[in-house]
Amino acid sequence: MPQSGPRAALGTSMVRAAMLAENTPGRLIVFDTGGTAAGADAAARAAMKRKVAMILGPLLAEEVAPVAAVAGASVPVLAFSNDPGARAPGAFTMGITARQTTGAILRYARSRGVRRVAVIADGSRWAVAAAEAAAGLQGELNLDVRRIDVAAGQPLPAAGDAPDAVLIPGGGDPVMAAARNLKTTGIQLLGTVQALDHRPASLSVLEGAWLASPDPAAFAAFSSAFEARMGGEAGIIAAIAYDAAAITKTLRGKNALDRAGLLAEPSFETATGPLRFREDGSVARDMAIVVAGPDGYAKVATSRGA
């Protein structure tokens, strides 16, 4: 994990989350990547000299290949990147991907009668990946998906451009603006985990929106434990580090702390919801479908194996 450099604060939060799951002294050894590919390579080499059974991390997509190359076939790598392209031999990508959340919310929307969806892509990596995932699901879900590219800072298209639903893959101001524009149109707002916002003013604006997210109950339990033990608030990325450490602890208890052990488990119950590892290095996740309301997010369904 990065313990120095521009992402040191995030790295420290993730290390603390991992230690919350695995608090036996000596079980977790932290190596600083500095947030660079070269630093990750050096950290992996140092880890292998300590004869580790599994590597948790690295954080960034560009760090995964160097770490996986050093680890080889004998030591699995649970990378925290959400870039599917970061998969490498021996490495699994545990980050929550745009494809996972987009597939989950579109499957739910289709089950509720949504047929035509406009996806607003603002040029960000996440939004582009979500738009591509939505387009790829058209045949499978019998959806009509239209991509609308909007430059950052430009106004959103009129609500009438989306007959049934509008999917805003990102978060922040674009989601708030779309929610306000769609409030009285009868057009359903769809969102991904990026749009989760627990501020009362935001919840009021988002009321009625459907979003795909990690299971809120499981995450709330982790978040409360993190705040009580470590202080401060924990985000989704920190929860993924907690999950990785909890998974290794489970496998150690079964004397199966290796790739075969990871693949043999039908499901791991984690702070971000049930997940399982696939042979190709991807992770299948159960995603919660939540509806925003003035008092928070209510879970209404589960999308399995995204």
Give the model confidence (pLDDT) of 84-111 as tens digits. Answer: 888 788 899 999 999 999 999 999 999 9
Predicted local distance difference test score (pLDDT) of residue 208: 93
Q: What is the pLDDT of residue 258?
A: 96
Average pLDDT, the chain: 91
> What CA–CA distances, in Å, run from 164 to 34, 153, 300?
46, 25, 20
3-state secondary structure of 101: helix
Domain with CATH 3.40.50.2300 in the chain: 8-96+218-273, 98-213+287-303
Residue (of 5, 7, 4, 62) closest to 38 by Cα position: 62
Looking up tokens 């999950």 gives: 243
CB 126 within 8 A of CB 174: no
pLDDT digits (tens, 9 = 90+) for 44-75: 999 999 999 999 999 999 999 999 999 998 89
Once rounded to an integer, what is the mean pLDDT over residues 31-49? 97
pLDDT greater than 90 at residue 116: yes
Residue 163 has pLDDT above 90, yes or no: no
The confidence score (pLDDT) of residue 154 equals 58
According to the model, what pLDDT value does residue 55 have?
98
DSSP reduced 3-state for 109: helix
Residue 268: predicted pLDDT: 97
**Residue 270: partners with Cβ closer than 8 Å, 6 or more residues away:** 218, 239, 242, 243, 246, 247
pLDDT at position 216 over 80: yes
Q: Do the strands 55-56 and 77-79 form a parallel or antiparallel pair, or are they unpaired?
A: parallel
Residues 6 or more apart whose Cβ sits within 8 Å of residue 237: 10, 13, 14, 80, 95
Res 130: pLDDT: 93
Q: Are strands 91-93 and 116-121 parallel, antiparallel or unpaired?
A: unpaired
Supply the CATH classification number for the domain 8-96+218-273: 3.40.50.2300
Determine the residue type at 143. L
Q: 178: pLDDT confidence band, cut at 50, 70 and 90?
A: confident
Of 30, 18, 10, 20, the closest CA to residue 228 belongs to 20
CATH superfamily of the domain spanning 98-213+287-303: Response regulator (3.40.50.2300)
Among candidate residues 188, 171, 189, the one with its CA nearest the CA of residue 127:
171
- What pLDDT is stored for residue 149 in this prediction? 81
